[in-house]
Amino acid sequence: MKRFLAVLFVLSLVMPFSNLKAQKIDGNQMKVGNIKKHSLEKLPYSMDALEPHISKATLEFHYGKHHQSYVDNLNKLIEGTEFENVKLEDIVLKSKGAIFNNAAQVWNHTFYWNGLTPKSSQKPMGKLKEAIDKEFGSFENFKAKFTAASTSLFGSGWAWLVKDKDGKLEIVQTSNAENPMRQGKTPILVCDVWEHAYYIDQKNKRAAYVEAFWNLVDWKRAEENYRR
């Protein structure tokens, strides 16, 4: 009888929490009970898929450590604030300070990873190709200007291909965690030029990293981003 009562007591403690299962919602958010938690979005390829251009070791640190830390910091920072149950993109657009920095770094990194593929077509296609040719004269000219923007950015940040509200393409640089969506622009592709993106593979040779980056651009995804 005592054993039976002990089992009932344990069940009474466990049952109230049995419904707190994580549910995937809105991209990189997980819901536990009534609380939305941001999570590290799974890569669309294996950790070694980008080799030899970007190593598994780099992904283990860049994605597994740095990106994860931004997610963890964001969840801690938004607890009890107006951003606790808000979609990531809205946090990026509306927040400031430490919450913005971590939210934007989560968004920027997810966009960066999703813009890479081990099976790159090496060149743009469709409407995006037409727009690049119209704005920059040729893909080669665009590539040279984007490379220059990526290698010349002082300090840490990002080089982006974006389109404005009129659909015009533009290459922009942003420092630290800044995101061009906050200026009303639509990101199409991005190159992460924070040093942790390339130091394991290339040490301080950012230009070598940017050259390797071109072998991994997912032009199909970039086309989809352009058509939004």
pLDDT on residue 207: 98
pLDDT value of residue 3: 47
Alpha carbon distance 188, 129 (integer Å): 12
Residue 187, domain extent: 126-226
CB atoms within 10 A of CB 226: 24
Higher per-residue pLDDT: 48 or 26: 48
pLDDT digits (tens, 9 = 90+) for 32-42: 444 579 999 99
pLDDT at position 24 is: 42
Tokens coding 26: 């809105």
Q: Which amino acid is at 18?
A: S
Helices 206-213 and 139-152: angle between axes, nearest 10 degrees = 150
Q: Give the strand order in the sheet containing 29-32.
A: 23-25, 29-32, 35-38
**Predicted confidence (pLDDT) at residue 22 exceeds the cutoff of 90:** no
pLDDT at 6 over 60: no
Tally the domains of the chain. Answer: 1
In a domain, residue 139? The reply is: yes
Average pLDDT, the chain: 89
* Residue 81 identity (one-letter amino acid): T
Tell me the pLDDT tens digit for each residue of 116-125.
999 999 999 9
Beta bridge partners of 38: 29
Residues 195 and 77: their CA atoms lie apart, in Å, by: 25
Burial class (CB in 10 A: 0-12, 13-18, 19+), 171: middle
CB 153 within 8 A of CB 159: yes
| CATH code of the domain containing 143 | 3.55.40.20
Q: What is the pLDDT of residue 139?
A: 98
Q: Which range (19-28, 50-59, 82-91, 159-168) has the least confidence?
A: 19-28
**Does residue 188 lie in a domain region?**
yes
* 136 found inside a domain: yes
pLDDT of residue 178: 98
The reply to whether 141 falls in a domain is yes
Query: Whole-angstrom Cα distance, residue 163 to residue 38?
Result: 27
Mean pLDDT, residues 106-126 taken together: 97
Residue 54 lies inside a defined structural domain of this protein = no
Dist. CA 142–CA 181, nearest whole Å? 21
53 is a domain residue: no
Task: Report if residue 196 sits inside a domain.
Answer: yes
State pLDDT tens for residues 169-178: 999 999 999 9
Side chain identity, residue 130: E
208 lies in some domain: yes
Bond from prior residue into 180 cis (ω within 30 degrees of 0): no
Q: At CA 147, angle to CA 208 and CA 58, rounded to 5?
A: 40
Query: For residues 189 and 202, what is the distance between their CA atoms, to the nearest angstrom?
Result: 22
